[in-house]
Amino acid sequence: MDLNRIEQGRFLITGGAGFIGSNLVAFLMQNNAKKVRVLDNLSTGFFHNIAEYVGKPNFEFIEGDIRNLDDCQSACKDIDYVSHQAALGSVPRSIKDPITTNDVNISGFLNMLIAVRDSNVKRLVYAASSSTYGDSASLPKVEDIIGMPLSPYAVTKYVNELYAHVFALNYGIETIGLRYFNVYGPKQNPNGAYAAVIPLFISKIIKGEPPIINGDGSIGRDFTFVSNAVQANLLSLFVEDEKAINQIYNVACAQRTTLNELWDTLKEITGKNIEPIYGPQRPGDVLQSLADISKASSLLGYIPKDPVEVGLVKTYDWYKMNTPT
């Protein structure tokens, strides 16, 4: 990765106060980006994730909403590259409230596409999702083989890909979509009804409490440490090979871990022998997920740096340092 490109670039990170977005902001700031602008409405992100950069000359925070086209257009002014991380995540939340999920993930995404089209932005890289594979039973997941979506959230993320394709076709903008596979790591929120499984598990084990595992624990995921997602974003923003642009890529580790294996690994890391409680399986959940990352490797040069075991140690250490006692 050419760090000189970062020093010369002006970046907009939508959802930059959220989990993946704030990790991307941190990387850009640590590598002396010319400009880092964050657009976030702080509905699921947290200002404390980016507070250390406030006041620095190359950092700007805009509290705004991607559902507002004016906010999107203002945020894209004088920007070279956009990493669009703003979205309303969680399959269960989308099943409970499909309208809001649609408004944020589809209408908000369309607003960003229009703002990019009407500005001088060179490229938009956006957060797609492995949920797009839906009920496809084939493993590992290859980008051009998908099934029917299993949740409103999955529908919205697939529509993002369709809109990006149409805007590239009709308006000539450059886009790249990254299908994240269960990203985890520091700054991910462990609280609330829609917390992701790894921060939830780590929060429980720090407290000495048993987690609730949905189903029998055999559900398998390609858990991906956040540094790999950051790497994929930067590679996508800067790739020059025309064959690599206006594409969709899996971002994962090509390593499947079941929920039972995940909990057992955390027990080994922490030395705590706590048995989980098993509950009902959640509606809309994909049962097995494993990515083929050969496309990202060949066209972007993506190589995951942190396998699950390493990422879990780093994540646990961060939460242990940042969890109030």
Q: Residue 56: how many CB atoms within 10 A of its CB?
A: 10
Q: 289, 256 in Cβ contact below 8 A?
A: yes
Half-sphere exposure of 145 (CA within 13 A, CB side): 9
Q: Residue 294: how many CB atoms within 10 A of its CB?
A: 14
Distance in angstroms (rounded) separating the CA atoms of residues 63 and 133 = 33
Distance in angstroms (rounded) separating the CA atoms of residues 178 and 222 = 14
| C-alpha distance across the termini of the chain, in Å | 39
Single out the catalytic residue among 126, 153, 249, 316. 153
Strands (E), 161-209: 175-180, 183-184
What radius of gyration, in Å, describes the C-alpha atoms of the chain?
19
Active site residue 126: no
Indicate the DSSP class of residue 280. Answer: P
Positions marked active-site: 153
